[in-house]
Chains A and B, each alone.
Chain A
Amino acid sequence: MVTPDRFERQSFLGWNAQEQIATCIVGVVGLGGGGSHIIQQLAHIGFKRYVIYDDDTVEDSNLNRLVGGTTVDEKSHSPKLLIARRTIFGLQSDAEVEGLSVKWQEQPEPLRRCHLVFGCVDSYRGRQELEIAMRRYLINYIDIGMDVHGTDAPLISGQVILSTPGGPCMKCLGFLTDEKLQEEAMKYGKAGSRPQVVWPNGVLASSAVGLAVELVTNWTRRARAYEYLVYDGNKGVVNQSITMRNRTQHNCPHFSLNDVGDPVFLEI
């Protein structure tokens, strides 16, 4: 039972903000380092309708960053879905959670019910596929990801991208490029076992959730239709990408609003 003053400290979000938040169906694809942070924050904020995807179980190597994961989960090979459900129901006992222990491409229909989806996937190809689906079904999309470059003097970097139908996409914003996709394809689409640590994921997840709350409640009165934030983990700062500052076009040449809905097979 949610007490009346549960959300008192966030009442500045607007008189009807909690209702908007509770009505919105959110999707989270990938419930590892980034997704587990996002789930925790969404549940605290008061989101109640979830569609979540992860086909993985908790391993020892996850526990350096999987929020909510414990050594007991590792020993019992708990699905990451279970950790997410536990976090959500621990804060929102009346939440509606549809958890799918498959890759989203295997069961895409539940994801299409969402109004806002967080992509917490490893590969560029995975991000591209998600964004294509989001555009086709008119869903707001927020992508997060982090990486560590080099070993002698490691550099931590990351990004948070908001992509909404009609606005610039991840290609427009210069994040997804043919070169990156080709390079990844040369490695058979595998992103590899990239280094991951908890605190950059926390920064990125918080920034992503901030964008989501702004989108849903419009508490700033100037909700952004697109955004590209870059994280410099060595300096500990998040800045707007330079490609955003140089952008003059606010639409997208890659996705037409006419290309929505189920693909249709036509007789020739």
Chain B
Amino acid sequence: MIELRIPRSLFQEMIDDLERTHPFAMERVGFVYGKMGSIGSDATLALLCRYHHIPDDQYLEDDTVGARIGEAAMSQAMRDLYDGHSHRLCIFHVHIHGNHGEPRMSRTDSRELPPMMPGFQSTSRNGAHGILILSADHAAAWVWLPKEKESRRATRIVVVGAPMEIFEGGKTW
């Protein structure tokens, strides 16, 4: 069982940033950081606590993808991750799919995003890292646990605060 928890204020901060239009990119992306929580041997808790938005000038022009970020954005993410590695810092790449329902990784997502994970894993070995995709009314995440090469689907994503929201795979709310 893997669960991601996001405070409501942070969830809103991500949405507010990711929904903004970009001068040339079709969509925005960001990184959200978190820490690990123990809830039993068969379960992992990733507690998301800080959002890092990507400045406009750190996007690259590329018509083949919705958004491509450059070296400066990646370097900053890796620096943050390195600074927090002793605290088992986690990092999730986050973006929005504009439709309703449970998000799935697009073909582009599947091709472009997983290759980031080995770098994250080698920088913060004891953190869980992954991909978080939000939709208009749902969310889904793919998580690479420490030392694991393959991703696992997060069992649920919980927005904590008011109102609470619990997104579970296969459920439409």
Contact = CB atoms under 8 A, between A and B. Distances in A.
B36 interface: yes
Contact of A225 (B6, B8, B50, B86): B8
A116 B160 CA distance: 9
B47 A137 contact: yes
B114 interface: no
Contact of A139 (B6, B40, B160, B173): B160
Contacts of B6: 138
Contacts of B5: 137-138
Interface in A185-224: 214-218, 223-224
Contact of A166 (B9, B45, B156): B9
Contact of A164 (B158, B161, B171): B161
A262 B39 CA distance: 10
Given A115-B160, A264-B87, A137 B8 contact: no
A112 B37 contact: yes
B92 to A, nearest CB: 14
Contacts of A123: none
Contacts of B80: none
B7 A165 contact: yes
Given A112-B45, A264-B88, A19 B171 contact: yes
Nearest to A165: B7
Give the secondary structure class of A's interface: loop
Interface in B1-21: 5-10
A109 B88 CA distance: 18
Contact of B10 (A20, A116, A257): A257
Contacts of A139: 160
A261 B166 contact: no
A56 to B, nearest CB: 25
Interface residues of B, number: 33
Nearest to A115: B158
A20 B166 contact: yes
Contacts of B172: 16
Interface in A15-49: 16, 19-20, 23-24
A197 B47 CA distance: 39
Contacts of A258: 49-50
B34 interface: yes
Interface in A66-116: 109-110, 112-113, 115-116
A109 B168 CA distance: 21
Contacts of A110: 39-40
Contacts of B171: 19, 23
A139 B168 CA distance: 17
Given A115-B160, A140-B161, A257 B7 contact: yes
A137 B47 CA distance: 7
B37 to A, nearest CB: 5
B38 interface: yes
Contacts of A224: 162
Contact of B43 (A113, A136, A257): A113
B9 to A, nearest CB: 5
B160 A262 contact: no
B119 interface: no
Interface in A230-268: 257-258, 260-262, 264, 266
A161 to B, nearest CB: 14
B162 A215 contact: yes
Given A113-B43, A218-B162, A262-B38, 7 more contacts: A112-B45, A115-B166, A166-B161, A167-B162, A223-B164, A257-B7, A261-B87
Q: Which 5 pairs of residues, A with B, have the shortest CB-CB distance?
A: A261-B35, A218-B163, A223-B162, A225-B162, A223-B163
14 contacts: A23-B171, A110-B39, A113-B43, A115-B164, A136-B37, A138-B6, A166-B8, A216-B164, A223-B164, A257-B9, A260-B49, A261-B45, A261-B47, A262-B37
